[in-house]
Amino acid sequence: MQEGKRQKQVAGLIQEEVNDIFRRLGMSMMDGGMVSVSSVKVTPDLLEVRIYLSFFQVTDPKATMKKITERGWEVKRELAARIAKQVRRMPELRFFYDDTLDHVFKMEDIFNQIKKDDEARDQGTKEEGGKENT
């Protein structure tokens, strides 16, 4: 289903505010890595917000998600104070792990391995060609 204009506006506002709240509460740097809000999705009734979090070099993503979920009430309280004039009711916040960055790194590793294999094969082909000519 297509996201409405109001949903996009509220999602953008919440993403901006939650990023700022994470920085202020010291939640942007956790477990030796960086935590950021990658995207925010809002239900059509504006009563539920799905916040997708991206982790960079976090040692244990599951433990970090648990810590963030436990501190969700702090985030909600801060957010309620900041967006009270823009929404009628404070939406329920749900946090999700966005593993897109993991997939990017995995794909990068795969491409690097393919490149190394191709270079090794090309090098082996050149050496075999040099032996045949002598």
Residues 22 and 86 in one domain: yes
Residues 74 and 104 in one domain: no
- Structure confidence at residue 55 (pLDDT): 86
The pTM of the whole model exceeds 0.85: no
- Structure confidence at residue 134 (pLDDT): 47
- Structure confidence at residue 131 (pLDDT): 55
Across the 134 residues of the chain, what is the mean pLDDT of every consecutive 10-residue run? 83 92 86 87 92 87 90 92 88 89 82 88 72 51
Residues 108 and 94 in one domain: no
Residues 57 and 108 in one domain: no
- The domain of 114 spans 100-134
Joined together, the tokens standing for residue 26 give 């010291």
